[in-house]
Structure 1
Amino acid sequence: MTLVYLIAGEASGDVLGARLIEALRRRRPDLTYTGIGGARMAEQGLTTLFPMQDLAVMGIAEILPRVIKLRNRLHQTITDIAARRPALVITIDSPGFTLRVLRAIAPLGLKRVHYVAPQVWAWRPGRVRHFPGLWDRLLCLLPFEPDFFAPHGLNPVFVGHPVLQSGADQGDAIRFRAQFGLDGGAQPLILMPGSRRTETARLMPVFRETIARLAPHHPALVPVLAAAPAIAPELAAQAASWPTRPIIVTDPATRYDAFAAAAAALTKSGTSTLELALAGVPMAVTYRVNPLSAALARRLITVPHVAMINLLANHALVPERLQSDCAPTQLATTIEDILTNPAIAATQRTGFTQALSRLKAPDGLPPNEAAATAALEVLGQ
């Protein structure tokens, strides 16, 4: 049996890894899988070295108390790879951990693939000079990434974006309304404050006041708070004091049903904009960090937009309300425009279709199949 070693460090990577293993198993039933992953990868046959949750920490405040444990997990992973000498190592996103692993195992001469290109094209692009020699193939999710990485000899290949396989466009509006007792006139407003406490701490109070401004003019408006399961209880406690109590959804299926029923959405920047676009939900994007981080970001960011859907569209398809504009008055006005002007929603939906078409793999394969093809090419070299 041929051993493939996969490493994922967070929930999104676990989903990617599971879909990749599923595609690999169809092509090569002789492969076996070990490494680091979560429940989804385990369902596909991966034996994990330790719980993936040990790596799923974000932000300086969360990482510092766990530095020693993370360092030990890094050493444990490197030692395990050296002992097993797999035929192929596939690292998935989580660059803070995975790139350190790749750098450490480079002298072993193993075949290596990195899945999800580091987004250095967005800020501090000079960091790309540290990447040569880390992998044999870089699997890119965005169509413009190969043009950035290829001149540096990093062997990129565009494999399509996994949001196309997410099911975000398969929700059932009738089921959602029935589940939560909403009549046909209700206007669900999706609120997506992020999955990290540093994000939600800044956005939840703003969302509360935004709803307070919208509610008197839109009595049919129903806030729907999409919450990561790990922090859902905290968000529910905060939302208990909102003037209009939101529906809280945590699992993807219910979230996608909510998308199907939604009149509009207010979301942080990130992959959530692609999910909403796939579901055809008109939206506004917002984000706020501390002023020092914002000042630093303005010096380092090299792209014209923060919303992924705007980067794909190559213009401000959806409004971005950032920093000082991430305020209740501005956000309420922006959502009011979407709710009351059908032309805005129609323009966004047309733009979504055009932008998302760029996320399809060039050969027409589903993203996980395209990724499996690229990985097997490296394995066969």
Structure 2
Amino acid sequence: MTRIHIVAGEASGDVLGARLVAALRARRPDLEISGIGGPRMAEQGVSSLFDYRELALMGLLEVLPKIFRLKRLLAEAGADVAARRPDVLVTIDSPGFTLRLAERVRPLGIPIVHYVAPQVWAWRPGRVAELKQKVDRILCLLPFEPVFFENAGIPVTFVGHPVLESGADGGDAERFRTAHGLTATDRPVIVMPGSRRMEASRLLPIFGAALRLAAERLPGLRPVLPVAPIVADAVRRAAADWPAAPILLDGPDAKHDAFAAVAQSGGAGLIKSGTSSLEMAVAGVPHVVGYRVNPITAAIARQLIKVPHASLVNLLAEREIVPERLQENCTPRALADALVAPMLDLSVAASQRAGFAEALAMLRAPEGLPSEAAAVAVLGMLKAG
């Protein structure tokens, strides 16, 4: 029996892992696949060693209170890999945990593939030499990443970005409006504060205040929040006093219907930085990126960050297509102004959409869907071994 072990540490990694499992089994139905993941991987028949939500932490100060628990989970995950002795270990994103796991099991001689290149090119380029000692291949999502890692002597495969097969552009606007009783005067806006507890709790009060200001200029705004289960309760509490009752969504289909409704009605998005910006781009939804972390974390990050933009759309285009309001500039007034701009001025919305097309064209792999390209690369490690 050929065994592949897949470890994902958060909701986005769970989605990637599930698609990878499906693509692997389409090519090799005989595979035995185990690992750590969430509900999407469970749907593909992968039972998780422990609740992956315990790993959904970020920020220097946010991790410290959980450090001993994380060490125990790391030891548990390492022991599981050692017991199973898979033919390939695939670690997905969440480098704070997954790369520590890779380092821990490295002496076992198991080929290790890391899916989603850690953004050392953005803020820790000196750490790439350490990465070379931990993994045998990196599966990159962004077109400018391979050269960086290849120059450091790390084998790389560019598999394309999974947002291209997310279905973000395939929603049903009328189904969404009917399901939630929206009238012709309602203007839905997408609000995405993140899938981690700490970032959501930090951003939600700021986003809520921004929505109040925006509603003064555009009556009928209706916030729509696709929420990960891990932050659902925090979102409900934070949104209790918002100017309009928010629509909370669970699951990708409902989210994509919301994207379609927002795009169709001339709405916009208020989101955190990261992959959310690419989802908005695929769906054709103009948006503003807002982000704020603990001031101490921010001060340290400023010394390390080497790239000019937080939005992946802007990084790909090498200019600001999407307005970014970060840290001390992430204020309710600044966010509200950027949110309403494309709703009040069609030329602003059109300019963003033109930039989206330019950026997204760069994310396609040479052949096949991203999950298929990733599966081919992982199976290639079996042959190499």
**TM-score of the pair, normalised by structure 1:** 0.94
- What is aligned with 2:86? 86
Q: Which secondary structure does the structure 2 equivalent of 1:122 belong to?
A: helix
Deviation at 1:61, TM superposition (A): 5.3
The structural deviation recorded for 1:208 is 2.4
Distance (whole Å) between structure 2 residues aligned to residue 328 and residue 80 of structure 1:
46
Q: What root-mean-square deviation, in Å, do the aligned CA atoms of Structure 1 and Structure 2 show?
A: 1.8
Q: Per the alignment, in what secondary structure is the counterpart of residue 248 of structure 1?
A: strand
Give the distance between the partners of 2:95 and 2:226, measured in 1 at CA.
Answer: 26
1:358 aligns with 2:359: no
Provide Cα deviations, 1:307-347, integer angstroms capped at 9, x if missing partner: 11111111101111122321122222222321111011111
Secondary structure of 1:188 counterpart: strand
Counterpart Cα distance in 1 of 2:325 and 2:54: 34
1:334 pairs with 2:347: no
Report if the CA contact (8 A) 2:163-2:279 is conserved: yes
Looking at structure 2, the residues matched to 72 and 201 of structure 1 have their Cα atoms a distance apart, in angstroms, of 26
- How big is each residue's C-alpha offset from its partner over 1:359-381, in whole Å with a ceiling of 9 and x where there is no partner? 11122x10010001111111101
Corresponding residue number in structure 2 for 1:204:
204
Aligned partner of 2:315 in structure 1 is 311
What displacement does 1:351 show?
1.2
> What is the match of residue 20 of structure 1?
20
Q: Are the counterparts in 1 of residues 122 and 306 from structure 2 also a CA contact under 8 Å?
A: yes
Say whether the 8 Å CA contact 1:229–1:251 is kept in structure 2.
no
The 1:76–1:324 alpha-carbon spacing in structure 2 relative to 1, beyond 3 Å, is closer
How many residue pairs are counted as aligned between the two chains? 380
Is the contact made by 2:93 and 2:115 (CA closer than 8 Å) also made in structure 1? yes
Give the ranges of 4+ consecutive aligned residues of structure 1 lying more than 6 Å apart after TM superposition. Answer: none
- Larger displacement relative to structure 2 (54-63 or 100-109): 54-63
- Letter of the 1:126 partner, please give it: G
Q: Which of 371, 376, 384 is the aligned partner of 1:373?
A: 376
- What runs of 5+ residues in structure 1 fail to find an aligned partner? none
Task: Show the counterpart of 2:229.
Answer: 229
Q: Structure 2 CA distance, aligned partners of 1:248 and 1:207?
A: 15
Indicate yes or no: 2:269 matched with 1:265.
yes
Q: Is residue 197–residue 234 contact of structure 2 (8 Å, CA) maintained in 1?
A: no
Q: Find the aligned partners of 2:370 and 2:293 in 1 and give their Cα distance.
A: 33
Quickly say closer, same or farther: Cα 1:78–1:203, change in 2 above 3 A: closer
The TM-score, its normalising length taken from structure 2, stands at: 0.93
Deviation at 1:289, TM superposition (A): 2.2
Q: 1:230 to 1:80 in 2, by over 3 A?
A: closer
* Cα separation, 1, equivalents of 2:136 and 2:224: 43
3-state SS in 1 of match to 2:216:
coil
Tell me the residue number matched to 1:250: 250
Residue 288 of structure 1: which of 274, 287, 292 is its match?
A: 292
Note the alpha carbon deviations across 1:43-86, whole angstroms, 9 max, x for none. 32324333333433334555444433322222232223223322
State which drifts further: 79-88 or 123-132: 79-88
Aligned to 1:345: 349
Q: Identical aligned pairs, as a percentage?
A: 54
In 2 relative to 1, CA 76–242 (structure 1 residues): closer, same or farther, beyond 3 Å?
closer
Shift of 1:2: 0.9
Specify the alignment match of 2:131 in structure 1: 131
